Structure 1
């Protein structure tokens, strides 16, 4: 194995595990520990951060920062990344499309012919359903919010509500949720001492504060977003008790259409909403399991009338 190939192999090994002892690397590369030390020095000179730990055999690990190491991908991984990059070229996250196109071009240059044909076949026979005009999300904002979530670090930002009013918010971020159409930040509002959901496209000037925190009993972020987008904004809210486990019912009613919460192992409550009774009746008729309509009373009447019409048809 020549020096360049050996160094690529060394980078791949360092990337695959948190720490390696010098003797282990030497055995894998079929060289002496001294050669491993020389190769590590060469990689450092090229900008790759490799940390060494004193001890018997010498420990090495790939550090943070520095240059992005080469990725050695399995065939399925390469196809998945290429398909994902194609999807990213049509995302609502501003600034990502151009980078995705550039990365996809680079990947196509190095893909074997058999894999390139697979990716091209998927692209040629796949059509994305138009999503309508959706507000773009700034990629820099998204990265800052994600960093706050990852490191449990407070964030300050400017926020614009649906009626155009602006305010400054100080929050403790929990999770970013993507509904397929919009991005939401789930966070604890420090001033209001309450959990809130924020549309990411309405957030500007986010800044990490350096304040750390720890949640004692955080809510489920998906449920909170589903409640805020699928239930709270509507005039009529339906509540049903369904005689089935929550996970089974959630398979039929995704978070974008309603909220499913377990009552016990065999029963759950379902909530969905609309501005008129008609859509609520249609939602109720989709439920396969035995159920009881808890509210509103007029929904129960409308469902009974609909059932009578079906029986008489």
Structure 2
């Protein structure tokens, strides 16, 4: 016969396995009397699990939906499936990236070593069709998320934007998802200032185990700081453009947060930039609206080259 605590966990697992159980079924599975089953149901209710009872000869029990989410018991296969699915969700543009990552960090913290190896094996055996976004090692993302959640100092190798390797020692504050990329906002202990790091360029070292009190910064301020450091502060080429489309429509088409100035109901202005003016011109052309360059000779030249290229393509099609 199982001890009381172990029996409660087994009973909870059974109730989560299928919707309805009779008292006799639970009694047989647990190897106890129906009276003990009734007592264990009362204990589960006292712990916050909403267990409904049906009276009568064919009566039984069902785990119902309550006002709060109770802890779930997962089997080995279920835990691996959930971990893999959360990892996929954390790297997709579905609106639940950060929530998925938080849940994944909590789950991986309690996974037994044998299940961690199975999750890692699934990730290593899975491939995706390459896209424009860089590949992301979920084990790195998970390690960084765990350090953020546990307020633990982090040491890692970092590949700089223009090549070269460096080592960093930081207090990780928050992970921010932007487009296909994840960024870490952290307090750099060597530079005594905020720094932003791309997670796909990080190579975490062994956990330091050193805790730190988190710094006071709101979620909105963290996002604004990341956007400022990653976008406008790092642009090589800057330009101001007038877009002949309503500001709301332009904002909906732009995948990154930018300040858009409303001119009137059908036009707006925005300042933006990039390392490659030709790529920026091509990107602006996809807004499906007329664009005027107000400031930025490099962007104007890029539009001129793009127009020439498009004209050659159109002339070639007409000739054919």
Residue aligned with 1:212, SS: coil
- Please list, as runs of the form range in 1=range in 2, the aligned pairs for 1:1-313 lying within 5 A after superposition: 7-8=12-13, 10-11=15-16, 35-39=37-41, 52=47, 68-69=73-74, 84=85, 98-99=118-119, 128-131=128-131, 137=137, 139=139, 141-150=140-149, 153=151, 155-162=153-160, 163-177=163-177, 179-180=179-180, 183-189=182-188, 191-205=191-205, 206-207=207-208, 209-216=211-218, 218-219=220-221, 221=223, 224=226, 228=230, 235-242=236-243, 244=245, 248-255=249-256, 260-263=258-261, 267=268, 269-275=270-276, 277-300=277-300, 303=303
Deviates more, 1:4-13 or 1:289-298: 4-13
RMSD of aligned alpha carbons:
5.6
Equivalent residue number for residue 18 of structure 1: none
State the TM-score, normalized to the length of structure 1.
0.50
Unaligned 5+ runs, structure 2: 1-7, 19-33, 49-65, 93-114, 316-320
**How far, CA to CA, are the matches of 1:36 and 1:61 in structure 2?**
23
Count matched residues. 238
Stretches of structure 1 that go unaligned for 5 or more consecutive residues are 14-31, 44-49, 54-58, 74-79, 104-126
Deviates most, 207-216 or 217-226: 217-226
**Distance between the aligned counterparts of 1:86 and 1:158, measured in 2?**
21
CA distance in 2, matches of 1:210, 1:252: 40
- Return the offset for 1:215: 0.8
Equivalent-residue separation in structure 2 for 1:128 and 1:274 (angstroms):
28
Spell out, residue by residue over 1:200-239, the C-alpha distance to the aligned partner (whole angstroms, 9 max, x if none). 44232254624233314744639936963x7766643333
Shift of residue 38, structure 1, vs aligned partner:
1.7
